Amino acid sequence: SQQGEEDPQALSIQEGENATMNCSYKTSINNLQWYRQNSGRGLVHLILIRSNEREKHSGRLRVTLDTSKKSSSLLITASRAADTASYFCATDLGDYKLSFGAGTTVTVRA
Amino acid sequence: DAGVIQSPRHEVTEMGQEVTLRCKPISGHDYLFWYRQTMMRGLELLIYFNNNVPIDDSGMPEDRFSAKMPNASFSTLKIQPSEPRDSAVYFCASSLRPREGNQPQHFGDGTRLSIL
């Protein structure tokens, strides 16, 4: 069963705009990871945030984690056409397994 | 560095046939994972290995599915006999040994399986 749920399911934005997507989960976690999947390809790891961290940055990506609300957000700033992809959150349940959400499909229009 | 390599990329076969999917993990990675992705169910973990030993196969849907890892550089996922509902994209991923929680997983580009 999926632990994380992303919101929204789909997002369409203009190039240069910011894209924000959210992930909610149900149980305590050790860390939460975000992945990107381009059409026809495998998932690519973007960023990992540990349960004792609140915010993390990597290039144009900003991830927040609120363990009290069991939620995380991924912000992509100054979006580009190449950011068009599906984005998944994955929760580490502490048993070396990851539970992936259903994903947010992001379309960046030129 | 070579990433996770899966073969074949596409497989189309008839119901009842045996299907074998192959995976070469990244050298030095201790963990190997097999996932299945469908529109209806999303990404599901089927089985994972640590140092070639199966640790958790609770996600394997039926006895028709089996997975092996004979050595650190090769794993197979076999479906026998195959059924149309097995049609999906199957991914292999590998990671280093977790320390403080999980390490990132590195995915192959998947095998798109169609059972007619």
Q: What pLDDT is recorded for position A29?
A: 87
User: What is the β-pairing status of strands A10-14 and A104-109?
Assistant: parallel
pLDDT in tens, B73-89: 999 999 999 999 999 99
Please state, in angstroms and rounded to a whole number, the distance separating the CA atoms of residues A11 and A1.
24
Is the pLDDT assigned to residue A2 strictly greater than 60? no
The answer to whether B106 faces chain A, any CB pair under 8 Å, is yes
pLDDT in tens, A21-43: 999 999 888 889 999 999 999 99
pLDDT in tens, A57-99: 999 999 999 999 999 999 999 999 999 999 999 998 777 788 9
Taking the CA atoms of A8, A10, A13 and A19 in sequence, report the sign of the dihedral they define: positive
A35 chain-B contacts, CB cut-off 8 A: 107
The answer to whether B102 faces chain A, any CB pair under 8 Å, is yes
| Contact yes or no for A45 and B106 at CB 8 A | yes
pLDDT in tens, B15-61: 999 999 999 999 999 999 999 999 999 999 999 999 999 999 999 98
Query: What DSSP line would sit under A21-58, residue for residue?
Result: EEEE-SS--SEEEEEEE-TTS-EEEEEEEETT-SEEEE
Q: What pLDDT is recorded for position B103?
A: 83
Q: What pLDDT is recorded for position A97?
A: 83
DSSP B59: T
Give the chain A residue whose CA is nearest to the CA of B104. Answer: A45
DSSP B62: S
Which residue in A98, A104, A105 has the most chain B C-beta atoms within 10 A of its own C-beta, making it the best mutation to test that interface?
Answer: A98
| Contact yes or no for A97 and B56 at CB 8 A | yes
A28 chain-B contacts, CB cut-off 8 A: none
Q: What pLDDT is recorded for position A95?
A: 73
Please state, in angstroms and rounded to a whole number, the distance separating the CA atoms of residues A100 and A1.
9
Q: What pLDDT is recorded for position B2?
A: 84
| Contact yes or no for A103 and B108 at CB 8 A | no
Q: What pLDDT is recorded for position B1?
A: 63
